Amino acid sequence: MTKVKVRIPATTANMGPGFDTLGMALKLYNEIEVEEVDRQTEIYNNNLKSEEDFKDNLIYKSIAETMDRQKYPYSGFKINVIRCDIPISRGLGSSSACIVGGIAAANAIMGNSMNLGDIIDLATKIEGHPDNVVPAVLGGMVVSLKVGEEIKYSKVSIPNKLKFVAMIPSFQVSTALSRKVLPDTYLKEDCIFNISRSAMLISALYNSEFDKLRICFGDRVHQPYRKNLIKNSDAIFKKSRELGSVGEFISGSGSTLMAVLDGNVDEFIKAMREFLDELEDKWNVISLEPDLEGVKIAG
């Protein structure tokens, strides 16, 4: 029976104006081991058996969906989550990591019968949108969009000097709730606002025009509504600016907030931790670099 180990990066999506389109993989990882077995599927966390019904497990669902589509016969699996550093429901792609990890594991077990496009298309079908799953597969920063049932994507170069600091709170924000608060229609000027910022964001990154980034991370589609679900978000973004960040945005649907810096990361983190310690909720502040590899099969 085949056994594979898979490492999957966290992701940050939207990145300001790029709603459901822009995403970037980060050096924060989950790792899973998946083994074919001749019995019912079992789920483990660090070799401790979980009481979770395997049919509700997103990794299992993704494995089964992949193999069903490829008409690959299976009985069950031993799924062991051996590393889980991506926090759940914090806007860092925890569900995408489960989906991409499950598909990658299934593909490896099947002898890599799926190509990159197949993996991305299936991951998007399961997740519903491509902004997290595509960078989780490819690594780096990616622009991705749906054309019919096919996903088109293009990678974006990220200047090495840019650093990303995540402010991760103790409270969660569900994706379902964060989508529910969004309006059904938008004014034309708000659409133009986001189109212009998205276009300039890609150009400013390409040209290392860091002085334009704060303008580029502006958004009128999701952040004005979602920030109300994240306590003290305005104050934290204000403090980020005071401490020298070149831009800020809500990571995915929240609750994580992201600051972008071009230096002085250690000083920023120290001062930000002191500021956040005064708030009612607990916050973790970590520096995250872009992951350029995407999902990896270890064996």
Q: pLDDT by residue (tens digit) across 203-260? A: 999 999 999 999 999 999 999 999 999 999 999 999 999 999 999 999 998 899 999 9
Does residue 1 register a pLDDT over 70? no
Residues 178 and 253 sit within 8 Å (Cβ to Cβ): yes
| R_g (Cα) of the chain, nearest Å | 19
Give how far the C-alpha of residue 86 lies from the chain's centroid of Cα atoms, to the nearest Å.
9
Residue 277: pLDDT band with limits 50, 70, 90: very high
Can you tell me the distance from the alpha carbon of 126 to that of 132, in angstroms, rounded to the nearest whole number? 12
197 is in an annotated binding site: no
List the chain domain ranges: 3-156+291-297, 163-288
Mean pLDDT computed over 36-54: 90
pLDDT at 50: 87
pLDDT at 255: 92
**Residue 90 is labelled as binding a ligand:** yes
The response to whether 87 counts as a known ligand-binding position is: yes
pTM comes to 0.94
Q: Is 89 annotated as a binding residue?
A: yes
pLDDT tens per residue across span 84-140: 999 998 999 999 999 999 999 999 999 999 999 999 999 999 999 999 999 999 999
pLDDT of residue 206: 95
The predicted pLDDT at position 197 comes to 97
Is residue 208 marked as binding? no
Residue with tokens 């290392």: 208
Q: Is 69 annotated as a binding residue?
A: no
CA distances for 100 relative to 54, 105, 107, 239, 294, angstroms:
17, 8, 10, 35, 10
CB 20 within 8 A of CB 289: no
d(CA 99, CA 63): 8
pLDDT of residue 299: 57
Q: Is 94 annotated as a binding residue?
A: yes
Report pLDDT digits (tens) over 158-204.
999 999 999 999 998 887 888 899 999 999 999 999 999 999 999 99
Of 5-9, 49-53, 276-280, least confident by mean pLDDT is 49-53
Topology annotation, domain 3-156+291-297: Ribosomal Protein S5; domain 2 (3.30.230)
Would you say 139 is a known binding-site residue? Answer: no
169 is in an annotated binding site: no
Instruction: Inform me whether the pLDDT recorded for 77 exceeds 70.
Output: yes
Query: Could you tell me if 260 and 214 are in contact, meaning their C-beta atoms sit under 8 angstroms apart?
Result: no
pLDDT of residue 132: 96
List the CATH code of the domain at 163-288.
3.30.70.890
More reliable by pLDDT, 284 or 1 = 284
Ligand-binding site membership of 93 (annotated)? yes
C-alpha span between 285 and 122 (Å, rounded): 33
- Is beta strand 3-13 parallel, antiparallel or unpaired with respect to 283-288? unpaired
Average pLDDT over residues 272-283: 94
d(CA 215, CA 130): 25
